[in-house]
């Protein structure tokens, strides 16, 4: 089983709908991240969390919200999806303060019509 699991892996929805992407990890890491990737581009950081009580905005947080339900769970919500939020979304974790080594999930492909 994957250490970082994302659900759903694929989702097609309509403009204005509320969408939640979920991420769970079995690595025991405190730090979790949500990234977005558009075709042909690198990853952009949406939100990150260093522990259950800590939530921080990344580069492109507008239109998104997150919830850290437990150490192992970090969900990303789109309250009212719009077509330019069509992208590949990745969840990642890291285990300690001084490291840039992230462990990524397999991605959630979201299409907003």
Residues that bind other proteins (CB under 8 A): 4, 35, 40-45, 48, 50, 56, 58-59, 88, 90, 92, 96-107, 109
Cβ proximity to other proteins: between 17 and 71 the closer is 71
Cβ proximity to other proteins: between 20 and 88 the closer is 88
Strands (DSSP E) contained in 4-72 are 4-7, 10-13, 19-25, 31-37, 43-51, 54-57, 65-70
User: What CA–CA distance (Å, rounded) separates 49 from 4?
Assistant: 15
Minimum CB–partner distance for residue 89 and other proteins (Å): 10
User: What CA–CA distance (Å, rounded) separates 68 from 53?
Assistant: 8
Minimum CB–partner distance for residue 16 and other proteins (Å): 27
């Amino acid at each position: 089983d994957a250490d970082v699991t994302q659900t759903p892996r694929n989702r097609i929805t309509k403009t204005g709908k509320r969408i939640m992407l979920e991420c769970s990890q079995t690595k025991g890491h405190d730090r979790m991240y949500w990234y977005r990737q558009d075709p042909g581009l690198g990853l952009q950081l949406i939100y990150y969390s260093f522990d259950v009580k800590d939530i921080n905005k990344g580069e492109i947080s507008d239109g998104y919200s997150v919830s850290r339900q437990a150490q192992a769970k970090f969900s990303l919500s789109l309250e009212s999806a719009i077509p330019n939020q069509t992208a590949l979304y990745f969840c990642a974790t890291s285990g300690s303060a001084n490291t840039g080594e992230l462990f990524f999930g397999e991605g959630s492909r979201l299409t907003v019509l």
